[in-house]
Amino acid sequence: MNVTPAPATVDTHCPYCALQCGMGLRAVSGSGPGEEQEPGAAGVPDGPGASRVPRVPGGRGGPGVEVVERPSFPVNRGALCGKGRTAAAVLDRRVRLTEPLVRREPGGELAPAGWDEALDRIAEALARTRAAHGPDAVGVFGGGGLTNEKAYGLGKFARVVLGTSQIDYNGRFCMSSAAAAHQRAFGLDRGLPFPLEDVARTGCVVLVGSNIAETMPPALRYLRELKENGGKLVVVDPRRTRTAELADLHLAPRPGTDLALALGMLHLVVAEGHLDEAFVAARTSGWPEARAAAMAHWPEQVERITGVPLPALREAVELFCGAPSGMVLTARGPEQQSKGTDTVGAWINLCLATGRAGRPLSGYGCLTGQGNGQGGREHGQKADQLPGYRKLADPAARAHVAGVWGVHPDSLPAPGRSAYELLDALGTDIRSLLVMGSNPVVSAPRAAHITERFAALDFLAVADVVLSETAAMADVVLPVTQWAEETGTTTNLEGRVVLRRKALDPPAGVRSDLEVLNGLASRLGGREKSFPADPEEVFEELRRASAGGPADYSGISYRRIAEEDGVFWPCPDERHPGTRRLFLERFATEDGRARFVPVTHRPAAEEPDADFPLYLTTGRVVSQYQSGAQTRRVAELNAAAPGPFVELHPHLAERLGVAEGDPVAVTSRRGRAVAPARVTRDIRADTVFMPFHWPGEGRANTLTNPALDPVSRMPEFKVCAVRVEAADAPPGG
């Protein structure tokens, strides 16, 4: 099927978060701003970590198109946040890459080059590294914004062409802890096991560590509708966010204590007679061990650990258990911890013990963050996975996928390093790196150290839309197409596979990531026929590779997606309707029962002490996205969120002698960041908050702790120990 865009308005999806909101792109007369600008190295920052980037005025439109609402798409029903409304602005050639750049001498400047020279340089460098040091000396780092087709192609390229095990992606930093907990408890990981529409119809939602009013604003309507329908909302967050303001009850625990909070609630469920004994007996296993672990966490002890008063803890249990149905939804708050898998597991245990799982309008779900964070890990760019969410270590999975790829199963490498461990090995075990659609220099924990690791590489190639801070360090930079310039699928947080349609041609000199993989494959062994550049051809192969796997896409086609507003996986054949709601009859375990996993609270990897007496937690703001590589180039978004800040309580500000807007320095064991103070009573007095969208001296991830969860390998972004002082004070003063 040839998907051809309509001449006037093309139905497509937002390029940002995992809602994948439906939108339209409408043709406008004339060319967009900047269309006559000279192509080339537009947007080159002043150096690695620089924050000054060109910005387009206004930002509502791009070259020849504007964003319009698409009310028929059921997820957002036409609503768009500021990022979605201005998404076409980054199509402007003034803020993006329009031809390859190469660094012809060590320490020299990036300069324009032709595609053959750029691809030849990459292929020669990767081949040289592989010959001198072995295939695992070559690394690949992907992104949660890549389409399913690109994620699939990148994983295949790493394992078949390069033969390396060293591939992972920035989605490891997103919801890997929730994914691991899903697998342990339910036997299957899909962010939400139900469509978003169910959230508005349940009896009570416990929202843990999510500020969806800022991270995915169009989804806030579901919480408002929940309350309009008589449902209750409990929000768990150390800050009183815009989302928390909607809550019937706001719990503000100390950062890093969500696990204790969930265990305390489960203790009260048992002690106060809310256990659903029939559900536990019929549909679960492992309850006695989980019960014993929870009962060891006395509510008074939990109050001391979390700082949440016992009456509020009891009220939360009464709201959750007193409703006819209920859901727990988690996000990065509890997940980005060195005990994130156990923390999510504790909230799942709460759902299972109360019968809030595997039933209509009830369950546990994770609010996936990145645009294709779900699909990105299902199809092979994660270190331990093959397409269809198969395990790379499973001989049957290897045999199936190898058969589709036309290679011997034994030729596929073993699982490799997780994302942070891969980045930490740059310049030592890993000598050359290919990055697609990620900006780790800003987004990785302990970012100054990771920047040093990038600088130690023998060779770095980056394929991206803009010259990010990571791309600015590269030896070769490849300009690639954006969402509006290509067709491809993504999978949203509900497990709904949607189709982004091409609306316009990219600038001359820009190629798709699939074309990049095709060109490199032809130079590294002549396998270009195995890496087609047509996205639908790639998707047809992905369907075969996923067939029979946990994330089975074999019944999904471009035509079906277009006709049905997306198709929910698993969908094993073309007659299958897709699976909107999981686990209603059985869980995806061998015996069909959900598994309780006994967990115990433990402190964060780094607790405050005399030298670093405060907690730091990080997050997002509504007008920027992830590392900011694209949104920082849109003037309208920068006007709303011009730079980093440090949110602190008035008591702390008074003690430090700082006022609103004064520069303050935040120091951890890993480095120092400086940003203006934002003084508010909406944060705990023992905690400061920084958004992580900016590079330079306000880079929040200079401070964050790379301590890893032992199961998911998720870094502990959400809590570390810091000290705060006026920026003009001497360090340590």
- pLDDT of 36 reads 34
Amino acid at 696: G
Q: Are residues 355 and 379 in the same domain?
A: no
Whether residues 325 and 279 share a domain: the answer is yes
Q: At 308, phi and psi to the nearest 5?
A: -85, 120
Is 639 a residue whose pLDDT tops 80? Answer: yes
Query: What is the Cα–Cα distance from 285 to 690, expressed in whole angstroms?
Result: 41
- Which of 349, 366, 383 is the C-terminal boundary of a domain? 366
Tokens 């923390």 correspond to: 343
Query: For residue 53, is pLDDT > 60?
Result: no
Last residue of a domain, one of 331, 366, 401: 366
Residues 670-681: what's their mean pLDDT?
Answer: 98
Block residue for tokens 């201005």:
86
Show the tokens assigned to 515: 């074309």
Residues 107 and 226 in one domain: no
Domain membership of residue 434 (yes or no) is yes
Does residue 431 surpass a pLDDT of 90? yes
Domain containing 124: what range?
101-174+374-549
pLDDT level of residue 453 (50, 70, 90 thresholds): very high
| Closest by Cα among 483, 505, 441 to 83 | 483
pLDDT at 55: 64
Beta bridge partners of 22: 13
Cα angle 437, 179, 465 (rounded to 5 degrees) comes to 10
Q: How far apart are CA 89 and CA 57, in angstroms?
A: 9
Instruction: Look at the chain and report how many structural domains it folds into.
Output: 3
Place of tokens 């070769």: 476
Phi-psi region of 447 (alpha: psi -120 to 50; beta: other; left: phi over 0): alpha
Strands of the sheet containing 22-27, edge to edge, are 9-13, 22-27, 65-69, 61-62
What pLDDT was estimated at residue 60? Answer: 58
- Residues 69-114: pLDDT tens digits? 999 999 999 999 999 999 999 999 999 999 999 999 988 999 999 9
Alpha-carbon distance 368 to 210, whole Å? 10
pLDDT greater than 60 at residue 1? no
| Residues 142 and 236 placed together within one structural domain of the fold | no
HSE (side-chain half, CA atoms, 13 Å) at 717: 30
Q: What is the DSSP string of 523-573?
A: HTTS-GGGS-S-HHHHHHHHHHHHTTSSS--TT--HHHHHHHT-EESP--S
User: Would you call the peptide bond into 570 cis, given omega within 30 degrees of 0 as the criterion?
Assistant: yes
Asked if residue 358 and residue 379 are part of one domain, the reply reads no
Residues 622 and 518 in one domain: no
How far apart are alpha carbons 439 and 626 in whole angstroms? Answer: 9
| Mean pLDDT of the chain, nearest integer | 93
| Confidence band, pLDDT 50/70/90 cuts, at residue 31 | very low
Is the model's pLDDT at 681 over the cut of 70? Answer: yes
Tell me the pLDDT tens digit for each residue of 208-243.
999 999 999 999 999 999 999 999 999 999 999 999
Smallest CA-to-CA distance from 527 within 514, 542, 517, 512 is with: 517
Kindly state whether residues 459 and 487 are assigned to the same domain: yes
Quick check: 118 and 126 in contact, CB under 8 A?
no
Whole-number pLDDT of residue 48:
33
Say whether both 153 and 228 belong to one domain: no
Q: What is the pLDDT of residue 617?
A: 98
How far apart, in whole angstroms, are the C-alpha atoms of residue 473 and residue 435?
Answer: 12
**Claim to verify: residue 228 and residue 129 sit in the same structural domain:** no
**Percentage of the residues of the chain whose pLDDT score is greater than 70:** 94
- pLDDT at residue 108, as a whole number: 94
User: Domain with 480 in it: what CATH number?
Assistant: 3.40.50.740
Residue 573: inside a domain? no
C-alpha span between 659 and 656 (Å, rounded) = 9
Contacts with 145 (C-beta within 8 Å, 6 or more apart), sequence order: 15, 370, 371, 372, 376, 437
Phi, psi of 666 (to 5 degrees): -115, 125
pLDDT band at 728 (very low <50, low <70, confident <90, very high): confident
pLDDT given at position 29: 62
DSSP string, 443-477: HSSSHHHHHHHHHT-SEEEEEESS--TTGGG-SEE
Q: Residue 378's closest CA among 230, 597, 175?
A: 175
Residue 599 · residue 293 · CB < 8 Å:
yes
